[in-house]
Chain A
Amino acid sequence: MSSLTVAGLTKAFTSTPVLSGVELHVPGGSFTALLGPSGCGKTTLLRLIAGFDDPDSGTIALGDRIVAGAGRSVAARSRGIGFVPQEGGLFPHLTVAGNISFGLPRRQRNDGGRVRELLALVGLDAGLADRSPHQLSGGQQQRVALARALAPEPSLVLLDEPFSSLDAALREETRAAVSRALTASGATTVLVTHDQAEALSMADQVAVLRGGRLVQLTDPRTLYRRPGDLDVAAFVGEAVVLDAELRDGLAHCLLGALPYEQTAGVAVAEGPARVLLRPEQLRLSVPGPAAAVARVRSVDFYGHDSRVWLDLVGGPTVTARLDGADLPSAGDDVCITVRGTALAFPVPHPTPVAAGAPLG
């Protein structure tokens, strides 16, 4: 296992900049997710790291070894980086065993023991070794692709949206198997995804990419609780964003006077501001004199929990996440209380974002 350090990386395709000055450090043995909307440059970054393309400027280093930039370009085949593409990319003319042993030295290619070992590592039955790729399910193909990438014992494994083509049930199962295999192999892992739940649940650290730049690099909990700005906040989860007035250590907004905190590195002065709450912080109760009043617009019932759409009096629509059986109905008037603290952000310039709607 070795660390990955990316510094000042830029790349443009026919004068359209895709990456502009990306800085990223992935510690050895860790699992990092590259999270961003489609078109943010995350796949390009992955291809540069793998060595399929060359950066315009900046450097990529594996441990202490510079593999791209600073006048060097180590070929993809000499980087020792495992790559798992989106749909698995299994070679259709080779069996499962042929695929897995593709990157092994010639002498080990016919060693059935090694193939069985790798199949076991990704949680597949050894009986699949002689199958053709088209006889496997999508999840099995992904696991074989991972086994193939892990076979030459790479120091770094890159996964390019490996679960996006799987249906929901298979995705969970495949994710768990892949996580186990990667932990067991001890390889440093970089996963590209646009699915925030996947990034938050699988990774040790999440790098958020936006418009060709790295906007935040931190662990999943911090990312969710203290996002660097409101866009990141909305991207990594549902958000309730309200206009507020910061005064006397409290944020005064439509939901009352709330205790607030600030994200590290984002200073907010007293006065007009925006505050972020998560829908699960909102609690509903029968109307009383003290708390904020809202009217229930509609309820999305999911079984394990529900989302309640609330029209605030004289203000925007916000959502609350509620568990339990005691749900309001559309048209009910309810009181809203807030658990925990709000997160304050400066008022964006020039026009404020439409508040309250879940943007994630």
Chain B
Amino acid sequence: MTLALAVAVAALALLPLGYIAWYTADIGWSGIQELVLRPRVAELLWNTTRLVVGTVICCAVLGVGAAWLVQRSSVPARRVWHVLLVAPLAVPAFVNSYAWISLLPGLDTYAGALLVVTLSYFPFVYLPVAATFRGLDPALEETARGLGLSGWAVFRRVQLPQLRVALLGGSLLVALHLLAEFGALQMLRYPTFTTAIYDQYRATFNGPGATMLAGVLVLLCLVLLLAELRLRGRRGYARTGAGAARPVRPVRLGAFTVPATAALAALVGLALVVPLASLAYWMAVGASSGLAGTTLLTTTGTTLALASAAAALTTAMALPTGWLAVRARGRIPTLLERSTYLGSAVPGIVVALALVTLSVRATPWLYQTVPVLLAAYAILFLPRAIVPVRSAVEQLPPLYDDVAASLGSSAPDRLRRITLPLLAPGIGAGAALVFLAVVTELTATLLLAPTGTTTLATAFWSASSALEYGAAAPYAVVMVLLSAPATVLLSRDPHGAIATDAPRGLTT
């Protein structure tokens, strides 16, 4: 029974991938040649690749530098800096993009795109690297110093090798997010696969062109994901015994204190202050031009209702998979769990495209209805619910069930009095993470929302696309306010453990 449910969940998660694979096989080699091997695709590939490489390098430098300053140097107010460096995650990338382009319309270039997405994504590197810095044993550095190494040599030869796994993991996360990023790049008019798929879809609905572009994009994601999976095996090993035995004595910056503080201030200024100031500015402009407050309220209501429904559904779907992964360890449960991770690595635009096409062809009565939209949310955000549910099940040994049974408790009674109360925190955490992800989801909502249904993200999108920046601002402010609690949680997480799985929805 549980297994059948988990199989159904995995099947749903793999639906978009399966659709792309089936379509590709159906169209045949000649079709692929015609649609994929053309200058337009080469151009998109070049654009996407150089943006991914550039962003990953910039994020790595900023993330590691900031993490070292905050965790290992004597820079003042380190705790404050830590929160401020995680805070940009509360601003969805497409909101950040809007904040910049509305102030500086000349940013619609490669450099502009690089700047904006780097400022949105560097916390993905900062969080795991900072956590690793905290966990590094200071004795190793002291030994190295004792052997006569300089400060720079200690960093390069002792610390950097230990940071490798966190750094690569964070970089891969940046790359995967970037491949899925639509809103931010569309607003900057920087064409990549996601924006091209969207434009194709708008022009020709579900034409083969869009689907084949999606196929290439999925292939890129799978390559990255494969690398990520290979890393994940070693990550647990690298983290064991984390938590330094002694507090680390920070490196004295001396004369460099002022430039280091200035550098952190500049980074936070660009990543946080500029977008927030821009939002405040456009709020003021919007207020003067008069905004329909009721529209904002109803849109917020719709968004919260959709997010609640998606949270409930996705968490319910996560239960059988999370349960089996712990209670029936083995190949099949692992495969089912991995399937949901694989499914959610598919960019939102591809999930939406697949669901549109499938619902039009197979179940026309479902096309443009809430169930299909909820299914897309579930596919995109299942891992967010599975990870906490799974760890809650790990906290619930089968022993409790045995003891309760020996005390005369029946199976439904045990479910009510033992299992559910103990799983509740995990279920709640999973539901909250999905909820927050749905609140700022743009791409799939744009394609799948029933006509007349607007969420905060889509209302923001249509206003800002029409260059009505003042009208768009209030929606962005509500989204930022709703995302803020999750960001506070992330900055508190001692090992940055949820950082690698959780914050995807804050940006797509």
Contacts and interface: CB of A to CB of B under 8 A. Distances in A.
Nearest to B401: A52
A3 B106 CA distance: 89
B410 interface: yes
Given A89-B399, A91-B400, A93-B421, A102 B409 contact: yes
B422 interface: yes
Given A85-B399, A89-B400, A91-B400, A76 B421 contact: no
Given A89-B399, A89-B400, A91-B400, A76 B405 contact: yes
B402 A50 contact: yes
Given A91-B418, A92-B422, A77 B406 contact: yes
B407 A102 contact: yes
A82 B422 CA distance: 23
Q: Which of B403, B404, B409, B418 has the most CB of A within 10 A?
A: B403
Interface residues of A, number: 24
Contact of A76 (B406, B417, B422): B406
Interface string A141-164: 000000011011000000000000
Interface string B420-432: 0110000000000
B410 A76 contact: no
A101 to B, nearest CB: 10
B408 interface: yes
- Classify the interface of chain A: helix, strand, loop or mixed: loop
Contact of B410 (A77, A79, A80, A148): A77
A76 B402 contact: yes
Contacts of B404: 91, 102
Interface in A61-91: 75-83, 85, 89, 91
Interface in B388-412: 397, 399-400, 402-410
Nearest to A154: B406
B403 A89 contact: yes
A82 B406 contact: yes
Contacts of A91: 400, 403-404, 418, 422
B407 A52 contact: no
Contacts of A103: 407-409
Given A77-B410, A102-B417, A52 B422 contact: no
B412 to A, nearest CB: 11
Nearest to B424: A93
B408 to A, nearest CB: 5
A93 B417 CA distance: 10
Nearest to A101: B407
A334 B71 CA distance: 68
Nearest to B413: A77
A80 B410 CA distance: 13
B406 A93 contact: no
Given A91-B418, A93-B422, A102-B417, A83 B408 contact: no
Q: Which of B402, B417, B418 has the most CB of A within 10 A?
A: B402
Contacts of A51: 405-406
A52 B400 CA distance: 12
Given A91-B418, A92-B422, A83 B409 contact: no
Contact of B409 (A52, A77, A79, A151): A77
A176 B408 CA distance: 28
Contacts of B422: 91-93
A125 B417 CA distance: 26
A152 B407 contact: yes
A198 B408 CA distance: 29
Contacts of A148: 403, 407
B260 to A, nearest CB: 43
Contacts of B402: 47, 50, 52, 76, 83, 85
Interface in A39-60: 47, 50-52
Nearest to B425: A93
Contacts of A92: 422
A47 B421 CA distance: 25
Nearest to B395: A92
Given A89-B400, A92-B422, A149 B406 contact: yes
15 contacts: A50-B402, A50-B406, A52-B405, A52-B406, A77-B407, A78-B408, A81-B406, A89-B399, A91-B403, A91-B404, A91-B422, A92-B422, A93-B421, A93-B422, A148-B403
Interface of A: 47, 50-52, 75-83, 85, 89, 91-93, 102-103, 148-149, 151-152
Q: Which 3 pairs across A and B sit closest by C-beta, in order of nearness?
A: A103-B407, A83-B406, A76-B405
